[in-house]
Structure 1
Amino acid sequence: MPPTTQVLFVHYGDHWIRGSEMCLLNLIATLSSRFTAVVWTNNSVMHSKLQSKNITTYYSEFSLIDLQQRSFSLSKWFGQYQTATHILAQHNIGLIHVNSGAACQWMTLAAKIHNTPLLCQIHSPYNLHDRFTLTLHCAQQLIAVSHAVAKPLLNEGYPNSQLAVVHNGIPNTRLSQNIDIRQRLNIAQGAKILISVGSLIHRKGFDKLIQALASLNNTPDEYHLIIIGEGSERLNLIAQTKRLHLLNNVHFVGEQSNVGEWLSGGCDLFVSGARSEAFGLVLVEASLAGLAVVAPHVGGIAEVIEDKVNGLLYQNGHNEIKALTQAIKTLIDDPSLRHTLANNGRQIAKAHFSLQTNTDNIESIYQQLLNKPSLTWLDLMKGLLRPLKTLFHTRVMRPIQQQLRGHYDA
């Protein structure tokens, strides 16, 4: 049996368990015996959960160098680098997996000094400032959760051979019990039930779903919307339901640990109002639960939902509420089409978005990376400078071109 490789997972995030955190927990839980996890994080919730599973875990507060802020602490940053070198030596780490890009800022240097291969898994698009200051281009290997997330880095010249797109996967777990949503929320048998899941933030577009619900309830059918999740927009969304006289039709049920049971609880359709989305793991969960999906054609969603195959996609922007409403109405009025899309979605979710497939793909990248030569200092310098071409074009050349265009137009 080959020796086990110690993998240091470094996760930067807020104090909750959401998309990137859940992906990391799932990956660690399904690693083969060839790899053993050591985790270092600034997420206290993640730290406690991993400790309860007897995973070796370190907790620290992380500090980033941010050029858009007036002050940042170089001493704290250097302290993180020193902690990294201590953990690498203490556990004889053979591979570093940075989960979300922030920790690359100090882990890239630590990896180079210790001659340890490093990959970074990015779960969302990063703006130009972050791609530069977090040194994403210096990572020896990148894993993006969708082609949409990978595109900006590839456009700036990050080598295609060092970037892999590995879609997220979810466990196909058997539900412990069934939820009767109509009974729990006192919804009439004839009413149509829409469900959505996500953080209650502007980007997720729950306000758009509530607007669409108001339009749908002007039809003879009665519609209800179940929203699973919490966030900063909760009070604004509740105020919106009051203005639109939908207090009895929109059900805010908060965070739920058994999302799959809610999705399988008798809803008619899963709906998304996202303004942007890196991947859309919850769309896979909805498909696995047997729901057809209505979602916008943004970000990585089209890599999960194929229009008229396992859901309907609509365009954000002009007339987006009308397009969203029409897509919902189309599937509600056509049970046969809804059933076909739901069946297709379940088969696609099982075949292409399983957790085991995700883990196998990532472990294959681990093995390839372990067999590659280390990056040279010249490679790292080239990576650090690569985003400066984009910075020069957007901050210098584009304004000059716009000024010249305005001058000639005048």
Structure 2
Amino acid sequence: MSSRAGAEGTVSYVVSGYPVLSQTFVRNEVFSLRRAGVAVDVSSMGRGDRESIPLEWSGPYHAMPEVSWSEALRDALWWARRPRAVLRLLAAIRLCTAAEPALLLRGVPTTARRLAGLDTRVVHTHFGWRAIVPALYVAALLGVPATITTHAADIFMPSRRLAQRLAGMARVVTVCRSNVPHLTALGVPDSKVSVIPCGVDTDVAVEPVADHRRVVSVGRLVEKKGFDVLLGAFSQVADRHDGAVLEIVGDGPEREALEAQTVRLGLGERVVFAGSLPNDEVLGRVVRAGGFVLACRRLPNGDSDAMPVSLREAMVRGRPVISTEVAGIPESVDEHVGWLVPSEDPDALASALHELLSDPAEAARRGLAGRDRVVRTASLETSAQAMLRVWDDLEAGR
């Protein structure tokens, strides 16, 4: 791991919300950098899920809007005495078409002044959504590069002004190769794009399967996750496998409709809706199951997952995965580590579920192959090293 970042300055994250249950990959990235000795500061625009996530898991962070008006005025005047910083900020404001005026008046000057005292070397953000603007503003005041990690819907369904805001980024990171054409279509040159998969903790044991007949799926209960397709597929195999159970972990707007579909299909207690759970409990459910399934789909409006981290979390625990040919999923999932089927195809998904449930030995073999792949290509350390190389390269080229 490079030591330069930890020795020569702070990596400052400016994000929309932190910590967020559905964005454990952001926490994992911050955690892995800190564990390597890198000074990381996190500024969050929103509250995230802080009420349900302990500080010992998320690590320390700051809330941007929680600044008194007197503090905001004091810090704005501090920056007003630095004309070069003000000129850089005005350029960023023009680039962002004067977006987020409330933060300009309140959170940005205070956050930037605090970070100036930490010798910040780069400002990083995740997603091409709301936080991209304050990240650019803070970086402008500090006179340091801004970088971003893009994921899925943020570039599949880009906002009207995303292209011009990405142009202000010194480097654009994305989580899978299939995302690169979406970025080049937004005007980002190939030379500015780095593909860095979201890493997972590989320092976990492969525990014995508690119940080979249990299959688990994890995600927000939203249309793009394809839970309705999964239920249709499971209804085709449930009667063929005595005791087979599908456990769905997560919550969301589709829950009532999915529970009604379960009743219509006569699945009764064969489907368990576990609701939203803390991260450790979610992973515990994955470990107890014989396999993991995610029936992702791309919606007509372009919304889709890119490469759900939950797939790698299952793979690193030695659990075979079943998923669909959507976006970047085929870059990690194939017949060697699980089953890959067309999206929106309940028959193909049912066939994969049947194979998984029929042959525990083959399922275990694919599960171990999947773990080996993640350990080699997508550990927390590997992803952190790649991020540090991006920032080191920027510094070397300045």
Give the alignment partner of residue 342 of structure 2, picking from 292, 298, 315. Answer: 315
Q: 2:330 is matched with which residue? A: 302
Deviations 1:262-287 (A, max 9, x none): 2221x232111111321121111111
Give the alignment partner of residue 259 of structure 1, picking from 282, 285, 295. Answer: 282
Alignment of 1:77-156 (within 5 A): 77-79=103-105, 80-102=107-129, 103-125=131-153, 126=155, 127-130=157-160, 132=162, 135-156=165-186
SS of residue paired to 1:305 = coil
Taking the aligned partners of 1:51 and 1:286, their CA distance within structure 2 comes to 25
Taking the aligned partners of 1:194 and 1:7, their CA distance within structure 2 comes to 40
Q: 2:83 is matched with which residue? A: none
- Cα distance, 1:371 vs. partner? 1.9
**8 Å contact from structure 1 (residues 84, 107) kept in 2:** no
Deviations 1:165-223 (A, max 9, x none): 0011111344699895x5xxxxxxxx832111111111111111111111113436453
- Cα distance, 1:82 vs. partner? 3.2
SS of residue paired to 2:323 = strand
**8 Å contact from structure 2 (residues 337, 367) kept in 1:** yes
RMSD: 3.0
1:303 maps to amino acid: E
Q: 115-124 or 149-158: which moved more?
A: 149-158
* 2:247 is the counterpart of 1:202: no
Q: 1:281 is matched with which residue? A: 309
- Cα distance, 1:298 vs. partner? 0.1
Alignment of 1:41-56 (within 5 A): 41-45=44-48, 55-56=60-61
- Cα distance, 1:54 vs. partner? 6.2
Taking the aligned partners of 2:109 and 2:324, their CA distance within structure 1 comes to 44
* 2:274 is the counterpart of 1:250: no
Unpaired runs of 5+ residues, structure 2, are 67-97, 298-303
Q: 147-156 or 248-257: which moved more?
A: 147-156
**8 Å contact from structure 2 (residues 202, 374) kept in 1:** no
Q: 1:227 is matched with which residue? A: 248
Taking the aligned partners of 1:54 and 1:336, their CA distance within structure 2 comes to 40
**CA 263–250 in structure 1, closer or farther in 2 if over 3 Å, else same:** same
Unpaired runs of 5+ residues, structure 1, are 62-71, 183-190, 374-410
Percent of aligned pairs sharing the same letter:
23
Q: 350-359 or 6-15: which moved more?
A: 6-15
**CA 310–56 in structure 1, closer or farther in 2 if over 3 Å, else same:** closer
Q: 2:201 is matched with which residue? A: 171
**CA 208–14 in structure 1, closer or farther in 2 if over 3 Å, else same:** farther
Q: Scaled by the length of structure 2, what TM-score is found?
A: 0.78
Q: 1:60 is matched with which residue? A: 65
**CA 263–40 in structure 1, closer or farther in 2 if over 3 Å, else same:** same
